[in-house]
């Protein structure tokens, strides 16, 4: 299922939220496979620069674009800037997202609105903007979560709602863009060792008991799956919600 090195040679990719975690792993993987990759970040330019440096040391191309996913204009501008800089856009991976926890008694409307803006609206705006630049055979991939199917913790109702919304939204976008051969899919990781779920966190031991494979996923594993969906071998997959979770949601 892995792509051969150089399989994305000449392709242009944009990864939103690409300065850390799963997003950064996707940037590294697509660049390793030959794509010219731009990625957005909203904070920590140091981390963004570190991702660029890692890619460049490996012989790849990566450019960081500051863009807050809560700002729809910033998102669309990042798409346009990527297309201008590299002469087009072939692959969009929407990885930007936030998690704010809170039970129904305490969750604020401001937090609700921000989660919807970043987790749902930004994915829609990015896909809409990307579709204006993509040619036949483009790829749009949204990073969702098994939280769309399984609420495994208290205070997760809004976060899980946003991930469920993505899984439904991409089905409609996939139909809209099908005549142009642009595929649109959601990749839903399960518990993965990132800043959001630290490998040494207090919940990890109990969480592993819920995963049949007995461990957290690794960001490189998610990135490998995304690379497959972005490649030519997946050209008949669209409108799909694809889970990679070690059996967590079974």
**What confidence tier does 4 reach under pLDDT thresholds 50, 70, 90?**
low
Active site residues: 159
| pLDDT attached to residue 3 | 53
Write down the pLDDT at residue 62: 98
Rounded mean pLDDT, 65-74: 98
Question: pLDDT for 87-122, tens place per residue?
Answer: 999 999 999 999 999 999 999 999 999 999 999 999
pLDDT in tens, 70-86: 999 999 999 999 999 99
Q: Tell which CATH architecture fits domain 12-243.
A: 3-Layer(aba) Sandwich (3.40)
Question: In the predicted model, what is the mean pLDDT of the chain?
Answer: 94
Share of the chain above pLDDT 90, in %: 86
User: Is it the case that residue 128 has pLDDT exceeding 60?
Assistant: yes
Give the pLDDT score at 1: 43
Mean pLDDT within 35-57: 96
pLDDT of residue 2: 45
pTM of the model: 0.94
Domain boundaries, the chain: 12-243
User: Residue 55: phi, psi to the nearest 5?
Assistant: -65, -45
pLDDT of 5: 53
In this prediction, residue 152 carries a pLDDT of: 72
Residue 206 has pLDDT above 90, yes or no: no
pLDDT tens digits along 189-198: 999 988 777 7
- Give the per-residue pLDDT at 203: 79
- Give the number of other Cβ atoms within 10 Å of residue 15's Cβ: 34
User: What are the tens digits of pLDDT across the range 8-40?
Assistant: 999 999 999 999 999 999 999 999 999 999 999
How would DSSP label each residue in the chain? -PPPTTTTTT-EEEEET-SSHHHHHHHHHHHHTT-EEEEEESS-HHHHHHHHHHHHHTT-EEEEEE--TT-HHHHHHHHHHHHHHHT---EEEE---------TTT--HHHHHHHHIIIIIHHHHHHHHHHTT--TT-EEEEE--GGGT---STT-HHHHHHHHHHHHHHHHHHHHHGGGT-EEEEEEE-SBSSSSS-TTSTTHHHHHTTSTTSS-B-HHHHHHHHHHHHSGGGTT--S-EEEESTTTT-
More confident residue, 206 or 5: 206
């Amino acid at each position: 299922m892995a792509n051969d090195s150089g399989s994305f040679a000449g392709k242009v990719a944009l990864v939103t939220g690409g300065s850390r975690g799963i997003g950064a792993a996707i940037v590294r993987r697509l660049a390793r496979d030959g794509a010219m990759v731009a990625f957005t970040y909203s904070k920590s330019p140091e981390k963004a620069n570190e991702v660029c440096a890692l890619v460049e040391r490996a012989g790849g191309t990566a450019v960081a674009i500051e863009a807050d996913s809560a700002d729809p204009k910033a998102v669309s501008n990042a798409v346009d800037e990527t297309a201008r800089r590299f002469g087009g856009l072939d692959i969009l991976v929407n990885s930007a997202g936030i998690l704010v926890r809170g039970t129904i008694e305490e969750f604020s409307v401001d937090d609700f609105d921000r989660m919807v803006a970043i987790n749902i609206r930004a994915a829609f705006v990015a896909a809409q903007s990307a579709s204006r630049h993509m040619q036949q055979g483009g790829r749009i991939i949204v990073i969702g979560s098994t939280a769309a199917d399984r609420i495994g913790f208290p205070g997760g109702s809004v976060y899980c709602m946003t991930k469920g919304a993505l899984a439904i939204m991409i089905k409609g976008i996939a139909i809209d863009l099908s005549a142009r051969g642009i595929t649109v899919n959601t990749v839903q990781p399960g518990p993965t060792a990132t800043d959001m779920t630290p490998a040494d966190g207090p919940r990890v031991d109990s969480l592993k008991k819920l995963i049949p494979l007995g461990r957290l996923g690794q960001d490189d594993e998610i990135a490998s799956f995304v690379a497959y969906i972005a490649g030519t071998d997946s050209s008949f997959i669209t409108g799909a919600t694809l889970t990679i979770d070690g059996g967590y949601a079974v």
